[in-house]
Amino acid sequence: MSLTGFVEFFQKGKTFRPKKRINEGTLRYSLYKQAQASLNSGINLRDTVKLPPGEELNDWIAVHVVDFFNRINLIYGTVCEFCDSKSCPTMSGGSRYEYLWADGATYKKPTALPAYQYISLLMDWIEERINDESYFPVSSDVPFPKTFGPLCKKILTRLFRVFVHVYIHHFDRIIAISAEAHVNTCYKHFYYFATEFNLIEPKELEPLVEMTKRLCKDIDYSKDPGPRIR
């Protein structure tokens, strides 16, 4: 399933948030095009996430964080009309997992919210940060801040929770529109990337561990972890 096919399929429906674009002519844009070409060529997903020789890890991660934000927005856009305070009164993944929202500003303490509200606040929170050049510098001459690594871990951890909610509570809708293969491919790409660079703690991955084992059958649990973002 190519990236082009994924985007074309989901853009036929509702987009939950406007797409964040990477500026043409920048180093990060060339990295984005390189990653996109690898996905479209049918290369094994585990290989596409590896850091290209000679490239900076932070640039590679920045490109993928923006790309995953865009694609998970597209996925959630297909189910958001079925996700309201009545159907999903909490941001959960089944009965065992519930996620509380805190942003240090409006919600200073972890707060239980309906799933749609949690995800809306989450997407706003991510969008604000990826558009802020003090977090995601556009020019290669400007260094990434020391907070970049922890911020990307937090972004991807929270985006994973959207996968959890969609898979556990709305996958019937995904199947109904014949999007299962597209969503599974996006999830596998996300999972391989996050685990390649140790961007999500194992305990956060637990809600989908059984499904992951079925989808990602080539995982080698004895493999040494890849490079860690600082």
- Binding-site residue numbers are 83, 88, 165, 170
Mean pLDDT throughout 115-143? 92
pLDDT of 223 over the 90 cut: no
Across the chain, mean pLDDT equals: 83
pLDDT tens-digit readout, 34-53: 555 555 555 678 888 999 99
pLDDT value for 150: 97
Q: Which of the two residues, 11 and 55, has the higher pLDDT score?
A: 55
H, E, C per residue of 79-144 = CHHHCCCCCCCCCEECCCEECCECCCCCCCCCECCCHHHHHHHHHHHHHHHHCCCCCCCCCCCCCC
pLDDT value for 6: 52
**Close Cβ partners of 58 (under 8 Å, ≥ 6 residues apart):** 144, 148, 149, 229
pLDDT of 76 over the 90 cut: yes
pLDDT tens-digit readout, 154-174: 999 999 999 999 999 999 999
Domains (ranges, CATH) in the chain?
35-216 (1.20.140.30)
pTM assigned to the model:
0.82
pLDDT value for 204: 96
pLDDT value for 57: 94
Mean pLDDT throughout 135-145? 88
- Binding-site residue numbers for Zn(2+) are 83, 88, 165, 170
| Band (106; pLDDT cuts 50, 70, 90) | very high
Q: Which of the two residues, 27 and 125, has the higher pLDDT score?
A: 125
pLDDT value for 45: 83
Residue type, position 207, single letter: P
**Close Cβ partners of 53 (under 8 Å, ≥ 6 residues apart):** none
